Structure 1
Amino acid sequence: MESKTTAFLANLLQSCIDNKAYVSGKTLHAHILRIGRFVDTFLSNRLIELYYKCGHINTARHVFDKMPQKNIYSCNAMLAAYCKERKTEDAYQMFVEMPERNEVSWNTLISALVRNGCEHRALDVYYRMNREGFVPTRFTLTSVLSACGALVDVECGKGCHGVATKFGLDKNMYVGNALLSMYAKCGRIEDAIQAFGDLPEPNEVAFTAMIGGLLETDRVEEAYNMFRLMQRFGIQLDPVSLSSVLGVCTRGGAQSDGFACNMNGQQIHGLSIKLGFASDLHLSNSLLDLYAKNGDMDSAEAIFSKLPEPSVVSWNVMIGGYGQKYQTYKAMEYMNRMQNHGFKPDEVTYINMLAACVKSGDIETGRQLFDRMASPSLSSWNTILSGYSQNENHLEALRTFREMQFRNVHADRTTLAIVLSSCAAMGLLEDGKQVHAVSLKALFHTDVYVASGLIGMYSKCNKTEMAKCIFGSMSELDVVCWNSMIAGLALDSFDEEAFTFYKKMLGDGTYPTEFSYATILRSCSKLSSLPRGRQVHAQIIKDGYVDDIFVGTAVIDMYSRCGNVDGARQVFDIMPSKSTVTWNEMIHGYAQNGCGYESVCLYEDMIQSGEKPDDITFVAVLTSCSHSGLVDHGLRIFNSMQKYGSEPLLEHYTCIIDSLGRAGRFQEVEAVLDKMPYNDDPVVWEVLLSSCRVHANVSLAKRAAEELFLLDPQNSAPYVLLANMYSSLGRWDDAKEVRKMMVAKQIIKDPGYSWVEHKNELQASALDDNIKAVGGKS
């Protein structure tokens, strides 16, 4: 009779548990107490389960403490209660106090610790479980492998793999999925593929994990092929697996053919609608992310407008998408709409908005947003610092960095690299030293990213020895460090040493990048060392960079500056694609080497090719026309500038005045002078004065000299040029007057020097006064 009553009450309690009927359960509890059945451990265990599943963990504990007789099931029930409520400390204490434990006890605690981010502690409990002789189950290994993946502890994961194989659990679907997921998260993709192949019947979890693992290791095409394989296997698709493959399409659009990946994404979009997942919020957010990152904001707008209840993630994706397209006003519009709909901007919202402002150059609005943040994260600080640095507001970047320190926000490697870049740009050695001190204190000075910034900062502040000292102290060097050191030496005109470091980099087994080649080619140019330039060119061909526009342009510049303009043209002709900079370098190369006609012909080829000339193009071709006497060609090109959207600048006017002046066409010079907007620049008048001296145009020379006396009163050049001109014409009194003016105004002519190379050393000797009066420095 008693057993029937107990069974009846247990069934009623189980019904209350299943339906979470808290009030009915309490009534049953009172009845059990009244009839004296609380001593029944089985019923008391059901009461504990009832209370914790109804969210009343304190009541469950009260029942546990009042139980006259507890067994292992009572302890496991209370342990499960603490784990369900994420009270990991209470759960751990409960576990420690248990008089005995079984596999359920160990698995419950390990699983809860992993779910709550306590992976290290979970592994400690697992090791203790092994020491106490308990055999791991599939539940144990699944949780432990998840912890290994989260900690990127591949050695522990491999140990668990061995245990799974020993007990025949490696073929278990749950353990197998956990194994391949662990290997994928640890970057051991080949091991993950092996684990996937060992699964007798991979399910959607296995395929999704493989897709994610391949994506994380940038094997985008293989990830998409895995999705196709999943379909061929007839695996049922769900919103999670579709979201994973949308991540593949998104990553593919950022890395390769964005149009093709967008098309794949549209196919997945269609499939999700066909399968009835169109209303799934997580999948819809993945679709939003795909279209936003591929720049298709019209499609993103269409999806967003159909969301029944957008989440904060949905709003953030739209804000980030418009920010990526430099449409700050649209990003701001979405942020305002987000707040109007009752959503509070989170950290991601502000970072996306800050990034939008930085990309569009609207740093002022970005700062206003930043100031609205109650407690900006490190990412937010780095974003605003990057904005100031990119917009060349380096002083404000340094002020913000100091503010960051005052607010006790600890810098990371990104922070220090940005601030060092600003110090380098302004040549602020003392500020750079302070940042160096911060990096030492934070133990970031050996980080290759920060070390590269330090090398660059000291190099730009002419402290090459300090830069070399930092470089030499690095235990590991990457290509960025090598590039920074080579660029620093080149910047400080240590081009021989730069080339030595370049050879050391090759000897170290570090592969040069585009930046490496462009830097060392500039050093070859400054050394006028064609043999070295050819060596570098050969290495470029060997490494497969010959078709790179950036590198190819640097090669053209090197050959041109070393006087081998035909070699430069050969490189130019075989380049598969050319930028405006490439055309400019070749045109300028012809100008440097006195090939004016070829320069003009190449300019015309550029126009015919459809490439739009810029301001630098016109400077190069007009300079070439000036030096080669192609005056009419130069005038025609100068007059056509506005047709190509370029307004003539000072440099262009200087070139055309120089060209007309060299040809003695001074009436046209005066016409240009009368209409040009740069009459207050001394360079124009110096060029004109030199031409007047050659052609003995006294009246215009006098006008040019008088302008220079006003614009640059302490410059001795116009006085000397004018005096020498009078002397060559025999107008000694006028020459004497000019020299008297120099004495009266206390204008001193710098002594001239002649540089002579003797025994590998440069020696200077002063020129005599007569030569000095005519020539200046030689």
Structure 2
Amino acid sequence: MRWRAREGRAAVSKIHEWSGNALQAYDSQRRSSQAPGMAATVAALKYCARSRDIGSGRRIHCDLRQSSALSRSILLENILIDMYFKCGGVGEAWQLFQEMPHRNVVSWTSMILGSVDSGDPEVAWKLFSQMQEQGVVADARSYVAALKACSSLVSRRKPQDENGGDLLEKTKALHAQILKAGHESDIFVGSSLVDLYAKLGNLVEARHVFSRMESRDVVSWNSIISGHARFGEGELALELFEKMQEQGFKPSARTYVAAVLACSSLAVREKGTLVDGTVVKVVSLRKGCALHSQLGRDGLLPQLIVANSLIDFYVKCGSMELAREVFDKMAKTSVVSWTSMITGYTHCDQGEISLQFFERMQEKGLVPDARTFVAALKACSRCADGAKEKIVLLDRSWKIYSQLKQAGHEMDLFVASTLVDLFEKLGSMVYAQQVFYAQDIFDRMASNDMVLWNSIIRGYSQNSHDNLELKTFATMLKMDIMN
């Protein structure tokens, strides 16, 4: 193949002229006497990336190697890296990157973004640091990639992790670099910064960046609204939701999810009113119903993420009737949908309906996660409060325990605590001891969790096992669990 310089320069502008049959066009040129040009090759590789066709991508890569075109086109190498990452060929992307005689900022950025999207944000951050160490100047897209890596690290962080401060410091240092380079005004950089600060709970800095943005899009509005909603500032989140629309922005599905989350945060704080034995959060419910109506007018209700957020909201408001209405109209449900319904009925003291939902969910082929098992076990616990035939419920509970054990959720702390509490309520300290003294759970969790120790001691006490109660309490004191 002969690659002409002007062909390379014009390639990017010609890519959009190629439609979904870019691969066929490439193959057609390849079979002809004239070898595929730069524009056709780039379009074909981008098509492979979009369609996740790694086989065809490898074939084009092989053609380029044979023609020695790669050694003369960093553009093609960068596009190949992007294609391999999007198709799941992480190892091939790394091999190509390591073999590159020259790398530019696009090469590094493709590796950083690819690593984040492949679930390796730590590697992505290291790549960003290495890029700067090698003297490559980051551009706006590079900073977006680095911010995305930090955001992924924040999302992966568990509530008990102590590295929140480190991530905030890392974010502030990155923000300082962005300011110095003059990229904060870039809409994508600004939106990424707002999103990251919001996820870290630093809403003051998130608002500061947001207020300085010269232009905004729906993504930046979504980030600031969801940040306030997530950290309990529901009223402010809803004010921003209204302001966004006043400025001419049309809410997306994720905007509505953030707004519904804001209503949920208000419901959690509202005392509520007792209606037919159930505490209903009337004020929050009114706000959420207005959003529900707006969602219907905008035609976004069929989206799964929207419906799930509404179910969760109605459950928190104590309105299982409205939650069930949304659930029954869903064309497609998920584990999240079913778990919310199971949890809701349990909170409303309708444990039997919760367990029916748990069984129906599995009949439909959905696999429960740890949160689902906790909800089902709590439903059993609610049923145990007034049950006369506890032996039947005990057998039912043991079957759920066997399921979660087989699914590998026995090590989950909330599952273990709920199990011990359930079995002591059912008067079966034999089962409770089996859970509590399961070696892995005891070694890894029980020794560090006060709730689990309290549950087993209370169980011994309520079931007249005084010696075991005192012995376990003494062990807890000896291990200094109370500190």
**For this structure pair, what is the TM-score category when the shorter chain's length is used for normalisation?**
0.7 to 0.9
Task: Note the C-alpha offset of 1:570.
Answer: 5.3
Change in Cα spacing, 1:177 to 1:528, as seen in structure 2 (3 Å) is same
Task: Note the C-alpha offset of 1:277.
Answer: 2.2
Contact 1:397 1:419 in 2 (8 A): no
Contact 1:292 1:318 in 2 (8 A): yes
Structure 2, unpaired ranges of 5+: 1-6, 158-162, 268-283, 384-389
1:495 aligns to 2:394 (yes or no): yes
SS in 2 for 1:529: helix
Larger relative contact order (Cα-Cα within 8 Å, sequence gap ≥ 6): 2
Q: How does 1:629-708 map to 2 (within 5 A)?
A: none
Contact 2:315 2:344 in 1 (8 A): no
Match of 1:148 in 2: 48
Task: Pick the aligned partner of 2:98 from 190, 197, 200.
Answer: 197
Q: Deviations over 1:412-452 (max 9, x none)?
A: 426852674378548999xxxxxxxxxxxxxxxxxxxxxxx
Contact 1:293 1:321 in 2 (8 A): yes
Rounded to whole Å, the distance in 2 between the matches of 1:318 and 1:531 is 45
Q: How does 1:280-679 map to 2 (within 5 A)?
A: 280-361=186-267, 362-373=284-295, 374-377=297-300, 378=303, 379-401=305-327, 405=329, 410-413=331-334, 416-417=337-338, 420-421=341-342, 424-425=345-346, 460-461=355-356, 467=359, 471=362, 493-496=392-395, 498-499=397-398, 502=401, 512-522=411-421, 525=424, 526-529=427-430, 533=434, 536-541=437-442, 546-548=447-449, 554=455, 563=465, 564-569=468-473, 572-573=476-477
Match of 2:275 in 1: none
Rounded to whole Å, the distance in 1 between the matches of 2:18 and 2:338 is 37
Contact 1:398 1:419 in 2 (8 A): no
1:177 aligns to 2:78 (yes or no): yes
Q: Deviations over 1:55-76 (max 9, x none)?
A: xxxxxxxxxxxxxxxxxxxxxx
Q: How does 1:225-244 map to 2 (within 5 A)?
A: 225-244=126-145
Task: Note the C-alpha offset of 1:242.
Answer: 0.9
Change in Cα spacing, 1:547 to 1:338, as seen in structure 2 (3 Å) is same
Contact 2:8 2:38 in 1 (8 A): no
Contact 2:377 2:419 in 1 (8 A): yes
Contact 2:144 2:188 in 1 (8 A): yes
Structure 1, unpaired ranges of 5+: 1-101, 430-455, 579-608, 610-778
Change in Cα spacing, 1:534 to 1:240, as seen in structure 2 (3 Å) is closer
SS in 1 for 2:137: coil
Task: Note the C-alpha offset of 1:511.
Answer: 6.3
Which of 390-399 and 175-184 deviates more?
Answer: 175-184
SS in 2 for 1:410: coil
Contact 2:228 2:234 in 1 (8 A): yes
Task: Note the C-alpha offset of 1:283.
Answer: 1.6
Code of the aligned partner of 1:369: L
Contact 1:291 1:300 in 2 (8 A): yes
Task: Note the C-alpha offset of 1:278.
Answer: 3.3
Q: How does 1:680-759 map to 2 (within 5 A)?
A: none
1:220 aligns to 2:142 (yes or no): no
Q: Deviations over 1:543-584 (max 9, x none)?
A: 667535665555555665663224532564477876xxxxxx
Normalised to the residue count of structure 2, the TM-score between the two structures is 0.73
Task: Note the C-alpha offset of 1:254.
Answer: 3.7
Change in Cα spacing, 1:242 to 1:556, as seen in structure 2 (3 Å) is farther
Task: Note the C-alpha offset of 1:375.
Answer: 1.9
> How large is the Cα RMSD of the aligned pairs?
4.4
Code of the aligned partner of 1:417: W
Change in Cα spacing, 1:415 to 1:222, as seen in structure 2 (3 Å) is closer
Rounded to whole Å, the distance in 1 between the matches of 2:479 and 2:61 is 53
Normalised to the residue count of structure 1, the TM-score between the two structures is 0.48
Task: Note the C-alpha offset of 1:238.
Answer: 0.9
Task: Note the C-alpha offset of 1:355.
Answer: 1.8
Code of the aligned partner of 1:267: A
Q: How does 1:97-136 map to 2 (within 5 A)?
A: 112-113=17-18, 118=20, 121-126=21-26, 135-136=35-36
Rounded to whole Å, the distance in 2 between the matches of 1:528 and 1:569 is 16
Rounded to whole Å, the distance in 1 between the matches of 2:192 and 2:342 is 36
Rounded to whole Å, the distance in 2 between the matches of 1:555 and 1:134 is 78
Rounded to whole Å, the distance in 2 between the matches of 1:425 and 1:535 is 24
Rounded to whole Å, the distance in 2 between the matches of 1:265 and 1:305 is 18
Rounded to whole Å, the distance in 2 between the matches of 1:290 and 1:359 is 20
Rounded to whole Å, the distance in 2 between the matches of 1:103 and 1:235 is 23
Q: How does 1:25-104 map to 2 (within 5 A)?
A: none
Q: Deviations over 1:158-188 (max 9, x none)?
A: 4444444444455542333223323333445
Q: Which has the larger radius of gyration?
A: 1
Task: Note the C-alpha offset of 1:481.
Answer: 7.5
Rounded to whole Å, the distance in 1 between the matches of 2:16 and 2:83 is 16
Change in Cα spacing, 1:419 to 1:180, as seen in structure 2 (3 Å) is same
Match of 1:279 in 2: 185
Change in Cα spacing, 1:254 to 1:401, as seen in structure 2 (3 Å) is closer
Task: Note the C-alpha offset of 1:249.
Answer: 2.3
